[in-house]
Chains A and B, each alone.
Chain A
Amino acid sequence: MRGAVSARVILLVLGLAWLGLLACSLTLGRYPISLSNLSAILLEPVMHTAAQGNDIEKTVVWTVRMPRILVASLAGGGLAVAGAVLQGVFRNPLVGPHIIGVSTGATVGGALSILLGWGAVGLLASAFGSGMLSLLLVYAVTRTLPRANTLGVVLAGVVLSGFFAALVSLIQYVADSEEKLPVIVYWLMGSFSTATYAKLTLLAGPTLAATALMLILAWRINILSLGDEEARALHVNTGHLRWMLLTAVAIVVSAQVAVSGSIGWVGLVIPHAARLLTGPDHRKLLPVSFMMGAVFMVCVDNVARSLTGSEIPLSILTAIIGAPVFLCLLRRSQSRGWSG
């Protein structure tokens, strides 16, 4: 019981931290907005009073920053949960959303849509579609293997990831070097600069539904983490459960890539940090991972949009922050022993 309470406390602290960060992020940026003006702008719809801030300040808060912060929160949270689930399913701390080939698969669709000029809707649809298609290919390849175990899934994911990366390189090679190539490269590095409420809706639907499914199945992931034989002894259909979870992960990752391009490290680093706080129980680990991912992603995006007048691609920042943090976490978890 004590563990459950502490998980609730952690979630409460993270929730409050996220709310504080939301307020802070809404004032932060190239366009200065005071806290008093911000509170007036936020309270205006509720209080039905004219806000102190001018129309441009309102636009910056409601149209530029708010959807961006919410998209960053959802994307970060979704990726962190996806990473935590994969690490549990494969019983391997070095596994992240990239390992099953979905994120690379989704980038193929996105890059192709930019190359062919399909517009914003086309980009979203093709990135999401190709991400899901890549999971289908992983499944098809795994079915052809003599022993369809977790190692087979990982190997199929790695092989297809390499193939998709080559396709992305081919798309970049044939892209117009002045007009389309920079757009593809920038999109591949990830950014929330295109965030809108429409994109928030498109991200929220699949992400929240898939995350809810993973949270519902959290206790089964605990069983899966024991190993296939133990899970079968407890009457869990491991193959069916594993693919259900992989589909949920693929939905989250594909939706994120479709909306904001490829963002690395979040799904690898955050579950480790969360595990240090909650232990290996996925019922606690997944919600804490979600909140930590949301907080982390908003912090990173604040740096990306505020440090210079130009947008810094997110993957650069997540790698710069993620790599050293991951090494530290790895050392700590190694000394404790990893159980997941």
Chain B
Amino acid sequence: MVAVWLIGMMLVALPASAAIEITDQAGRTVQLAQPAQRIFFSAPGDFTIMAMLEENPARRIVAWNRWRLDKHTLNHWRSIDPDAFDRINQMVIDGPQNLNAEMLIASQPDLVVLDHYFKSATQTISRLEQAGIPVAILDLEADLRRPNPTEGLEKMAVLIGREQRGREVGQFIREHVERITSRIAALKKRQATLPTVLMEPHAGSGPCCTSVGSGVLMGDLILMAGGKLIGNDIVEGLSGQLSAEFVISSDPEIYIGTGGRHIESRGGLLLGPGVDLDASRASLERVTQRVGVAQTRAVRNKRTYGIWHSGYPIINLELVATWIHPELFSDVDPAATLAELNRRFMARPLTGTFWVTPTTEKKPR
């Protein structure tokens, strides 16, 4: 059966029959005879993006890397179509070294979508292509630092025959990014010093303090929103440890932590689907009372905030912009943006607490 399918796939993959063609984000040509129906996604967040592009994303997904997704998020996506969701081959792959070609081939996909983190799995990619399975290197999650932040999402929309929908989502995100970046560009021309920010990923899961590294999206959102990261020059890679003394002596004006259910058991910042606002605010209070953070201006002036680690980048950008420059962005309402995003594009909006401040009044949904 698998042999017949493989031969069929090789025939389908022939350039002559290509009805859909894109150039992926690695500059490779990807050709499909018809819109993809059996897709593998390497990025856990890609299910959310697919839920923006169509009503029932599970129907098109044959296998998925659900690494680090909590049960609340999984149950939420399952609720759209439990039967289709349960048929998905749920894999847990934490890096390109564990991406197994044989395992993927066994799922019989007609398209394998790998994000930039997995593009280094060159041997696996060549094996898949030898087996006649098209591979597209696409970051579906919007990378707001790029000239076209939704390039990956829009190309994915083409591959599933939802090009118009992809353009609409892309347009929405670009407009909201432009609203922030244009004002920050003007601000930087007239203001030399920017507010200092400590951005702590997986906040409170360890002692004070972790900081995001240079070139990491979470940290770059702070720079895009007109902030100055205190750990940026020191930390390399995803994140690194800053000493409590360095944090105290740097005395950041603003503290922003990222959180999620994955660090709940270790006393970390609690945010995400199904999280209660009071519990989230209590966790922010606990995280900011650690030695190092507690001695900063940010805590004294109640400028301490938390965002969901897996939140939509555009919402996170608006949030940090309003926190860093409240006067400049007094007209920006991230809650309204999220509500519009959910209303216009989301198959089934997530509910929970996705950001928290010391004075959050009502649950941001």
A residues sitting closer than 8 Å to B (CB atoms) are 29-32, 56, 59-60, 63-65, 117-120, 176-179, 182-183, 186, 191, 193-194, 196, 305, 308-311
Nearest B residue (CB) for A191: B241
18 contacts between A and B (CB under 8 A): A30-B248, A31-B248, A31-B249, A56-B248, A56-B295, A117-B265, A119-B265, A119-B267, A176-B68, A178-B94, A182-B239, A194-B207, A309-B231, A309-B250, A310-B235, A310-B241, A310-B242, A310-B243
Other-chain residue from A64, A191, A310 in contact with B240 (beta carbon distance below 8 A): A310
* A177 touching B94, Cβ below 8 Å: yes
A165 to B305 CA separation, bound complex (whole angstroms): 40
Residues of B within 8 A of A309 (CB): 231, 234, 242-243, 246, 250
* B94 touching A176, Cβ below 8 Å: yes
* A177 touching B95, Cβ below 8 Å: yes
What are the nearest 8 A-B pairs in CB distance? A309-B246, A117-B265, A30-B245, A31-B249, A194-B207, A30-B249, A309-B234, A30-B246
Q: Is the interface of A mostly helix, strand, loop or mixed?
A: loop
Other-chain residue from A178, A193, A311 in contact with B238 (beta carbon distance below 8 A): A178
Bits for B8-47, please: 1 = Cβ < 8 Å to A, else 0: 0000000000000000000000000000000000000000
If the complex has contacts A56-B248, A308-B234, are A119 and B94 also in contact, measured as CB distance less than 8 A?
A: no
- Is B206 close to A, CB under 8 A? yes
B residues sitting closer than 8 Å to A (CB atoms) are 67-68, 94-95, 202, 205-207, 231, 234-235, 238-246, 248-250, 262-263, 265-267, 291-292, 295
If the complex has contacts A176-B94, A179-B262, are A29 and B245 also in contact, measured as CB distance less than 8 A?
A: yes
* A59 touching B262, Cβ below 8 Å: no
Nearest B residue (CB) for A113: B266
Q: Which of A176, A309, A310 has the most CB of B within 10 A?
A: A309
Nearest Cβ on chain A to B194's Cβ, whole angstroms? 19
Residues of B within 8 A of A305 (CB): 243, 245
Nearest A residue (CB) for B309: A179
Nearest Cβ on chain B to A122's Cβ, whole angstroms? 9
* B234 touching A310, Cβ below 8 Å: yes
* B248 touching A179, Cβ below 8 Å: no
Nearest Cβ on chain B to A240's Cβ, whole angstroms? 41
Residues of A within 8 A of B207 (CB): 193-194
Add 13 more A-B contacts to A31-B245, A310-B246 (CB < 8 A). Answer: A56-B295, A59-B248, A60-B245, A60-B295, A63-B291, A119-B265, A179-B262, A183-B206, A193-B241, A193-B244, A309-B242, A310-B240, A311-B243
* A311 touching B249, Cβ below 8 Å: no
Nearest Cβ on chain B to A298's Cβ, whole angstroms? 16
A173 to B246 CA separation, bound complex (whole angstroms): 31
Other-chain residue from B239, B240, B243 in contact with A30 (beta carbon distance below 8 A): B243
A118 to B265 CA separation, bound complex (whole angstroms): 7
* A64 touching B248, Cβ below 8 Å: yes
Nearest Cβ on chain A to B272's Cβ, whole angstroms? 14
A63 to B244 CA separation, bound complex (whole angstroms): 10
